[in-house]
Amino acid sequence: MKLDILAFGAHPDDVEISCGGTLLKYASQGKKIGIIDLTQGELSTRGNIELRAKESQKASDFLGLTIRENLKMKDGFFDQNESSIKSIVAKIRQYKPTMVMANSNSDRHPDHGRAGKLVEEACFYAGLEKIKTEISGVEQEAYRPDLVLHYIQDYHIEPDILFDISDFERKKLELIKCFSSQFYNPDSMEPDTPISGEHFFDAIIGRLATYGRSIGVNYAEGFNINRRFGVNDLFNLV
Domain assignment of residue 237, yes or no = no
Please, what is the Cα angle at 222 between 98 and 115, to 5 degrees?
Answer: 65
pLDDT of residue 163: 96
3-state secondary structure of 203: helix
| pLDDT tens-place string over residues 122-162 | 999 999 999 999 999 999 999 999 999 999 999 999 999 99
Mean pLDDT, to the nearest integer, of 34-47?
96
- Any idea what DSSP says for residue 224? E
Residue 168 belongs to what domain range? 5-226
Domain assignment of residue 207, yes or no = yes
pLDDT of residue 172: 98
Mean pLDDT taken over the chain: 95
Q: How many separate domains does the chain show?
A: 1
pLDDT at 6 over 90: yes
| pLDDT tens-place string over residues 154-186 | 999 999 999 999 999 999 999 999 999 999 888
CA 151 vs CA 35, 94, 122, 162, 171: distances in Å:
14, 23, 17, 10, 18
Domain assignment of residue 169, yes or no = yes
| pLDDT tens-place string over residues 91-124 | 999 999 999 999 999 999 999 999 999 999 999 9
Higher confidence at residue 194 or residue 65?
65
Please report which confidence band the pLDDT of residue 187 belongs to, taking 50, 70 and 90 as the band edges.
Answer: confident
pLDDT of residue 132: 97
CATH number where 148 lies: 3.40.50.10320
pLDDT at 235 over 90: no
As a whole number of angstroms, the distance between CA 11 and CA 109 comes to: 11
How do strand 147-151 and strand 220-224 relate by DSSP bridges?
A: antiparallel
Mean pLDDT, to the nearest integer, of 45-63?
96
Mean pLDDT, to the nearest integer, of 28-47?
96
Domain assignment of residue 139, yes or no = yes
pLDDT of residue 135: 92
Domain assignment of residue 110, yes or no = yes
pLDDT of residue 189: 87
Please, what is the Cα angle at 71 between 81 and 83, to 5 degrees?
Answer: 20
Q: How many other CB atoms are found less than 10 A from the CB of residue 46? A: 20
What is the distance, to the nearest Å, from the Cα of residue 206 to the centroid of all Cα atoms in its chain?
20
Query: Could you give the strand order of the β-sheet that contains 147-151, starting from the edge strand earlier in sequence?
Result: 67-73, 33-39, 5-9, 99-102, 147-151, 220-224, 161-164
Continuous H helices in 30-183: 49-63, 82-95, 110-125, 169-176
pLDDT at 216 over 90: yes
Residues 6+ apart with CB under 8 A from 12: 37, 40, 41, 52, 53, 55, 56, 59, 70, 179
Domain assignment of residue 231, yes or no = no
Please report which confidence band the pLDDT of residue 56 belongs to, taking 50, 70 and 90 as the band edges.
Answer: very high
Domain assignment of residue 232, yes or no = no
Tell which residue, 42, 35, 38, 89, has the closest CA to residue 66.
Answer: 35
pLDDT at 34 over 80: yes
Domain assignment of residue 204, yes or no = yes
3-state secondary structure of 76: coil
pLDDT of residue 140: 98
